[in-house]
Amino acid sequence: MTHDCGARAFWAAGLRPYHRVIHCLNYQLWMGGVTDHFNLETTGATVFPFGVGNSRQLVRVIREAGINAISSTPSYPRYLEGIVREELGIDPRDLGLELGLFGGEPGLENPAYRQRIENTWGMKAQNANYGVSDVLCNFAAVCRENYQLHFLGTGALLFQLIDPETGEDLPIEEGTVGEMVLTHLDKEAQPLVRYRTSDVLEILGVGPCSCGRTGLRFRVVGRADDMVHVKGINVFPNGIARVLESMVPEVTGEFQIVLDHPPPYAHLNITVESGAQKGAEDQENLKERIAMKLKEELNFKAIITLVPPGSIKRTEMGKAIRVVRTYSC
């Protein structure tokens, strides 16, 4: 069932038996490795186990083995681009990749980022690998018709939404925003019943997609444990990320919400990396524009502190910690 659902997702994203896909997620103690390898193979595609690291060897294998699809995190192509273009002097488009199957971290929901990958590599960049470690490896992907995640876990999972605060069930209909709750319908070991995933989704559609699939479609709004209430408004770090990404290169896109006292909050203090060092007047102006844009798009009041680019510490996975609590509970 795991492999069936995973294969449905990769198939929806465009993977076919004629593809020769190189799998560049870590094979160590993680479902992104061996389990996704099985999932990719279940589509009938030929799968090359590559894992992480050795990017120069990867380029050689892509060329020599006639690889035409890649499976990785969405941040990897950006890293690989530097090596391919600057170090090896190759135009990434000349490597012949036509399909990118991405997952494991956010990023691809940003259309500008997607477009940049597609223009650089000449390949379709697909969000193809959405799952929950505790529940099932991969049960959602976008199709080739729109850019909405299709729920593909039918038969394996019962999908429900609840209000993350009250625990109350919410109707599955277009526009509902709620925390995803999953129940295993077919599982040999450790079945979970009404497991709270902490992922907050928005339902984008429940009718058939133009691709022919009939399951519901959604986007990931954020993590319930990262949700902050500001005067009755639910604010997710992902929403702030989306607004800031639209302002690149004035900002880098990195930020942190700093909570210096327990709730309730009338506003949020947000530390934002500016795109470059600026004069005091420019800084004031940028801070105001960020606050205004957040108010317009997400309807809450923000007080912005600007810091130089690179000031906000990234984790080893390249992710920044989005919510920092400086008070003790």
Interface contacts to a second copy, rule CB under 8 A: 27-30, 33-34, 37, 48-51, 54, 61
Residue 322 buriedness (CB in 10 A; 0-12 / 13-18 / 19+): buried
Nearer to a second copy, 57 or 277 (CB): 57
Residue type, 217: R
What's the closest the beta carbon of residue 54 comes to a second copy, in angstroms?
7
Nearer to a second copy, 8 or 37 (CB): 37
What's the closest the beta carbon of residue 38 comes to a second copy, in angstroms?
8
Nearer to a second copy, 10 or 48 (CB): 48
- Give, in degrees to the nearest 5, the angle at Cα 259 between 258 and 265: 125
Choose among 134, 258, 148, 142: nearest CA to 198: 134
What's the closest the beta carbon of residue 257 comes to a second copy, in angstroms?
32
Nearer to a second copy, 48 or 121 (CB): 48
Nearer to a second copy, 34 or 90 (CB): 34
Nearer to a second copy, 10 or 113 (CB): 10
Can you read off the two tokens belonging to residue 60? 């050689």
Nearer to a second copy, 57 or 119 (CB): 57
What is the C-alpha separation between 4 and 16, in angstroms, rounded? 14
What's the closest the beta carbon of residue 212 comes to a second copy, in angstroms?
30
Nearer to a second copy, 26 or 277 (CB): 26
* Alpha-helical runs (H) found in 15-95: 34-42, 55-64, 76-82
What is the C-alpha separation between 130 and 134, in angstroms, rounded? 13
Can you read off the two tokens belonging to residue 31? 């479902």
Beta partners for residue 136, in sequence order: 132
* Alpha-helical runs (H) found in 83-232: 111-121
Residue 28 buriedness (CB in 10 A; 0-12 / 13-18 / 19+): exposed
Nearer to a second copy, 52 or 162 (CB): 52
Can you read off the two tokens belonging to residue 220? 């990931």
What's the closest the beta carbon of residue 323 comes to a second copy, in angstroms?
28
What's the closest the beta carbon of residue 300 comes to a second copy, in angstroms?
42
What's the closest the beta carbon of residue 71 comes to a second copy, in angstroms?
13
**How many C-beta neighbours within 10 Å does residue 70 have?**
25
Rg (CA), the chain: 21
Count Cα atoms within 13 angstroms, Cβ side, for 309: 11
Residue with tokens 């003790």: 328
Q: Which residues contact 271 (CB under 8 A, 6 or more apart)?
A: 255, 256, 258, 304, 305, 306, 307, 312
What's the closest the beta carbon of residue 51 comes to a second copy, in angstroms?
5
Choose among 227, 247, 230, 180: nearest CA to 322: 227
What's the closest the beta carbon of residue 21 comes to a second copy, in angstroms?
13
